[in-house]
Chain A
Amino acid sequence: MSREVLSSVVMPIAGEDDVVLVRRRVRDLAQAQGFDAFATAAVTTAASELARNALVHGKGGRATVRELNEDGRAGLSIQFQDQGPGIADLERALAGGYSTARSLGLGLSGARRLVDEFDIDSAPGRGTMASITKWKRLY
Chain B
Amino acid sequence: MKGQGSIPILRVGSTLLATVHVELYDTVAEAFQQDVLLAIERTGAVGLIVDISGLETVDSYVARVLADTGRMARLMGADTVLCGMRPEVAATLIRMGYAMEGVKTALNVDDGLARLGASTGPLGKGRPA
- A49:B59 contact, CB within 8 angstroms: yes
Interface size class of B (residues with CB under 8 A): 20 to 34
**How extensive is the interface on chain A, given as a class?**
20 to 34
Among candidates A19, A27, A106, A114, residue contacting B56 with C-beta atoms closer than 8 Å? A27
Prevailing SS type, chain A contact patch: helix
* Given A16-B25, A41-B56, A52-B96 contact (CB < 8 Å): no
Closest to A26 in B: B57
Q: Chain B residues with Cβ under 8 A from A48's Cβ?
A: 57, 59, 61
Interface string of B57-100 (1 = CB under 8 A from A): 11111001000000000000000000000111101100111100
Flag if B23 contacts A38 (CB, 8 Å): no
User: B84 to nearest A CB, angstroms?
Assistant: 15
Please state if B86 and A37 are interface contacts (CB–CB under 8 Å).
yes
**How far apart are the CA atoms of A37 and B89 in the complex, in Å?**
9
B85-128 interface (Cβ within 8 A of A)? 86-89, 91-92, 95-98
Tell me if A133 is interfacial: C-beta within 8 Å of chain B.
Answer: no
Report the minimal beta-carbon distance from A27 to chain B, rounded to whole angstroms: 7
A128 partner residues in chain B, CB cutoff 8 A: none
* B92 A106 Cβ-Cβ under 8 A: no
Interface status of B26 (Cβ within 8 A of chain A):
yes
CB-based contact B95/A113 at 8 Å: yes
Q: Which residues of A contact B64 (CB under 8 A)?
A: 103-104
**B96 engages A45 (CB within 8 Å):** yes
The verdict on B4 contacting chain A, using a C-beta distance below 8 Å, is no
Beyond A16-B27, A27-B56: 13 further Cβ-contacts under 8 Å? Answer: A27-B57, A38-B87, A40-B56, A40-B88, A41-B88, A41-B89, A41-B92, A45-B96, A48-B59, A52-B61, A106-B60, A106-B96, A106-B97
Shortest 5 CB-CB distances between A and B: which pairs?
A110-B96, A41-B88, A48-B59, A37-B88, A38-B88
Q: List 6 A-B contacts (CB under 8 A).
A: A19-B25, A38-B88, A103-B64, A104-B64, A110-B96, A114-B96
